[in-house]
Amino acid sequence: MRHMKRSRAWSWLKRAAVGLMALALIGAPSTGGSAAPAQDTAVILQGADIVTLEPYYSQSLPDQNAIIHMFETLTRFGDNLQLLPGLAESWRLLDARTWEFKLVAGRRFQNGEPLNAAAVRYTLLRGKEFYEKKLGDVQYEYNLLDLDTVEAIDDVTVRVRSKNPNPLIPLHMAHSQTAPMPPRYTSQTSVNDLQRKPIGSGPYRVIEFVPNERVVLETWSEHPNRPAVRRLLFRPVPEDATRIAELTAGNADIIVNVPPDLIPQVERNRSARVETVAGLRRIIIGLRQDRHPALRDKRVRQALNFAFDCRTMMRNLLANKGECTGTVANVPDQNPAVKAYPFDVQRAAALLDEAGWRMNPRTNVREQGGRALEFGFDCPRGRYIKDAEICQVIASDLAKVGVKTDVQVFDWSVFVGKSARRGAGFRDIYLIGSGPGFECQADLALVQKDSGSNRSLTDMARFEALWDDMSVTFDVKKRRDICFRMQDVIYDEAPVIFIWFQTDIYGVSQRLEWKPRADERIRLHTSRFR
Amino acid sequence: MLVVVLMVSVASFALLFLTGDPTELLLGSAADVMSQQQIEEFRRARGFDRPWLVQYLGFLTHAARGDFGDSLRHHRPAFEVIWERVPATVQLGAVAFALSVGLGVPLGVISATRRGSVVDAGAMLLALLGQSVPSFWLGIVLIMIFGVYLHLLPISGRGTWLHLVLPGLTLAAFPLARNARLTRSSVLEVMHQEYVRTARAKGVPEFGVVYRHALRNALIPVVTVIGLQLGFLLGGSVIVETIFAWPGVGRALIQAIGNKDFPVVQAGVTMLAVTFVAVNLLVDLLYATLNPRIRYQ
């Protein structure tokens, strides 16, 4: 009897093992996988899941990279980020608040619905309704769009009216959250289905969406410009080393975010190459002007820029995969005359002396009236390339001219909370990256006094006068001229420590012809296999 | 058990308040382009303007029904986002569990019966490595060997049976090693008992002595530990799921934390905690079944 009771343990163990193996067997699908990709399929490995294919529900980059293949916009950015015609063949300004777009005639959505002015009107007003009802993820885009009315004048003419004068409306028409959607299908389909099986007018259509695992797109045979690559397979692979392993094993065609120190690992492989592009994400050290009095003094801010040895950092930390900068405007609006601050410790020291911050030889920290030149320095980790390491380098450089910093590194989820409400949670200085505005004025909002993205509460009178001027200037050449002058002012005022435009580094298989773009979008419309 | 679940609910609820104003936390940089009125509307809509206790009771009542609110990123119920990942996590956990038991227990028995031999030393060295090598390192090494150099196994993702091998082995390494060591010491202990000597005196073959008499008695403490491993395998696979791009609950949690998608974090943490507590309870009950001398009052 006792023997029988003791045997229960063994018997339970055997049953459990058999049961669990059966459970695993049942759960394992029989197909799919990550073997070498098919000849006609480009495999793109991104760092995060594609959550939705409905453009009005997402601004996330992994989602956007699939969406841009399925949807087209009235205007679009070319490979050099110049604004080009898209579904609209032309556009013109009727008055300060109204833009008129002429659509390409005869276009249709993938389900056969006509792509006309009525469809554009339906889509933009749907976006406006989302904005007003706080649906989807359109708050940022539609706040900037400032949409008032949309009129369909005839089948190919649509007029977009903003609440205030808005020279940037044609730029916003290149954003996927203004991409036309077929009215009948969109209004009759549930949100859930729209997110997984949307219908656009782009050259690809979705054929498989397995949440958290993969999205497969295939060329739409009726598109006027059918791409050469027949299928696109998007997979999420969050770990950098795993993505590189997939590429070097021949299982992937494009991988994102290759860390600079792992570039040699890709380059050693004959079947893969590294492609880099100077991105549009501005990485800066914000200098809050409402906390430490020293940061209100232009000479101190300039001294911090002179004290930072950006080029050495670029060489030693970032594998020379980028360039130091002295502006926060993106291409093609960068003022070519504005260069990065030179590394000049003597000049930095002289400026700090001139500003009244004298070195205390006992502590090696500068002081003024008994107050030390010491800043709280907040840094994220893992959000930007080598973000925490860049902070450490800058802290070390600043220490050499007697500026002490207390560096604190935060996980991004905590750091981003600090950045809210115009950086209310930040201490004196902080590292942050800012995405592109796709136009000079939108880029320079980073340091404009009323802008939400101005987390340092910078207020530069010379800059603000130019800003006001630009806001009522619609002429492209005049805007460019004002833009250049604003960059001169920013360089001189040094409201930030300029670092770099983060370089985007991709691993690409040798069989695929593809070039990266500065806007971080992975477009394969014109790619082909060798 | 109820107390533990309640404490988990408090911790889960408090997640939103750890860094101050939850409205600020949820909106992040989106608040920069919103007016104060819009921000206040958001606060009211989420109920963050109510007293804490009222908010907590509301959270508790909804959580009991599996309602953690909508995911901020997925725009659908947070619990659904977690729940759809459960099959992948269970599948990987089941394979790792089967490997850890199926290989760990025999390894421990062999090691015990050949105590002091090269086999024993080798097995215990493997066990030592299994317990000391971090899973992220082991995972990458396995990927390089079997995926990149030998091209034998898929590197990442979920698909065929082969996709389970590398993440399964990586996840199983630690519990396998622990099972082997525990089984070895447990078998060694019972091998000195009188009933084992009696069995040998009766002329029972050595195989029968080990597997019929010694192992069955040695397994009771092993079963207890193995049961607790289930909770570890379900909740502790975050790193392995990330390395192998396995679409499980752990990876969803990491992504949700990165995206500040707190409803999903709350749903995931609560679900894992409740699962862990439930598994512990199950093991306690099972222990009484396996060893009738134990009775619960």
What's the confidence (pLDDT) of residue A31?
A: 39
What's the confidence (pLDDT) of residue B32?
A: 57
ipTM of the complex as predicted:
0.83
Is the CB of residue B75 less than 8 Å from the CB of residue A191? yes
Chain-centre distance for alpha carbon B160: 22
**CB-based contact B151 A249, cutoff 8 Å:** yes
Q: Residue A10 — very low, low, confident or very high, per pLDDT cuts 50/70/90?
A: low
What's the confidence (pLDDT) of residue B44?
A: 80
Closest CA–CA distance from residue A222 to any residue of chain B (Å): 31
Of the partner residues A28, A35, A143, the one whose CB lies closest to the CB of residue B164: A28
Report the relative pairing of strands A147-154 and A157-162 from DSSP bridges.
Answer: antiparallel
Could you read off the pLDDT of A448-469 as tens digits, one per residue?
988 777 888 889 999 999 999 9
Q: Which of A33-42, A198-207, A287-296 has the lowest mean pLDDT?
A: A33-42
Is the CB of residue A305 less than 8 Å from the CB of residue A313? no
For residue A81, the tally of other CB atoms under 10 A from its CB is 18
Could you read off the pLDDT of B116-142 as tens digits, one per residue?
899 899 989 988 998 899 989 999 999
**CB-based contact B84 A211, cutoff 8 Å:** yes
Chain B residues in contact with A241 (beta carbon < 8 A): 140, 143, 243
List the structure tokens of B204.
Answer: 């029972």
Q: Which residues of A95-105 are buried (b: 16+ CB within 10 A; e: fewer)?
A: eebbbbbbbbe
Q: Which of A203-212, A231-240, B219-228 has the lowest mean pLDDT?
A: B219-228
Residue of chain A whose Cα is closest to the Cα of B155? A246
Is the CB of residue A302 less than 8 Å from the CB of residue A443? no
Distances (CA, A) of A497 to A288, A307, B32: 11, 10, 22
Report the relative pairing of strands A365-368 and A371-372 from DSSP bridges.
Answer: antiparallel
Is the CB of residue A117 less than 8 Å from the CB of residue A104? no
Q: Quick one: what percent of chain A has pLDDT higher than 90?
A: 67
For residue A476, the tally of other CB atoms under 10 A from its CB is 10
- Average the pLDDT over A252-268 and give the result: 92
Q: Nearest CA to B13 among B73, B61, B70?
A: B61
Distances (CA, A) of A225 to A53, A87, A174, A193, A229: 21, 12, 18, 27, 12
Task: List the single best residue of A235, A244, A413, A454 to mutate versus B (max B Cβ within 10 A).
Answer: A413
Q: Residue B251 — very low, low, confident or very high, per pLDDT cuts 50/70/90?
A: confident
**CB-based contact A191 B24, cutoff 8 Å:** no
Q: What is the pTM of this model?
A: 0.82
Of the partner residues B147, B159, B163, the one whose CB lies closest to the CB of residue A245: B147
- Average the pLDDT over B11-34 and give the result: 66
Chain A residues in contact with B244 (beta carbon < 8 A): 242
Could you read off the pLDDT of A101-129 as tens digits, one per residue?
999 999 999 999 999 999 999 999 999 99
Closest CA–CA distance from residue A307 to any residue of chain B (Å): 30
Distances (CA, A) of A13 to A225, B201, B215: 61, 29, 12
Q: Which amino acid is at A22?
A: A
Of the partner residues B31, B162, B291, the one whose CB lies closest to the CB of residue A421: B31
Q: Which residues contact A91 (CB under 8 A, 6 or more apart)?
A: A74, A75, A99, A100, A101, A102, A170, A173
Q: Which amino acid is at A94?
A: L
Q: Which residues contact A195 (CB under 8 A, 6 or more apart)?
A: A51, A52, A53, A54, A57, B75
Task: List the single best residue of A239, A265, A450, A456 to mutate versus B (max B Cβ within 10 A).
Answer: A239
- Average the pLDDT over B173-187 and give the result: 92
What's the confidence (pLDDT) of residue A24?
A: 47
Above 80 in pLDDT, residue A188?
yes
Chain A residues in contact with B88 (beta carbon < 8 A): 27, 212
Q: What angle do CA A74, A75, A81 make, to 5 degrees?
A: 160
Report helix, strand or coil for A208: strand
Is the CB of residue A402 less than 8 Å from the CB of residue A364? yes
Above 80 in pLDDT, residue A176?
yes
Residue of chain B whose Cα is closest to the Cα of A141? B33
Above 80 in pLDDT, residue A166?
yes
Name the helix (H) or strand (E) containing A205: strand A204-210
Of the partner residues B84, B244, B247, the one whose CB lies closest to the CB of residue A242: B244
Q: Nearest CA to A521 among A259, A256, A237?
A: A256
Measure the CA–CA gap between A368 and A245, rounded to whole angstroms.
54
What's the confidence (pLDDT) of residue A55?
A: 93
Measure the CA–CA gap between B284 and A43, rounded to whole angstroms.
48
For residue A82, the tally of other CB atoms under 10 A from its CB is 10
Q: How many Cβ contacts (< 8 angstroms) between chains A and B?
A: 194
- Average the pLDDT over B162-190 and give the result: 93
Distances (CA, A) of B217 to B183, B207, B223, B288: 11, 15, 11, 14
Q: Which amino acid is at A308?
A: F
Write down how long chain B is.
297
Task: List the single best residue of A212, A243, A383, A387 to mutate versus B (max B Cβ within 10 A).
Answer: A212
Chain B residues in contact with A51 (beta carbon < 8 A): 73-74
Q: Residue B51 — very low, low, confident or very high, per pLDDT cuts 50/70/90?
A: confident
What's the confidence (pLDDT) of residue A80?
A: 82
Task: List the single best residue of A7, A20, A235 to mutate versus B (max B Cβ within 10 A).
Answer: A20
Above 70 in pLDDT, residue A35?
no
Distances (CA, A) of A65 to A51, A85, A153, A223, A233: 12, 20, 33, 19, 11
What's the confidence (pLDDT) of residue B297?
A: 55
Which tops the pLDDT comparison, A23 or A447?
A: A447
Which residues lie across from A95 on neighbouring strands? A98
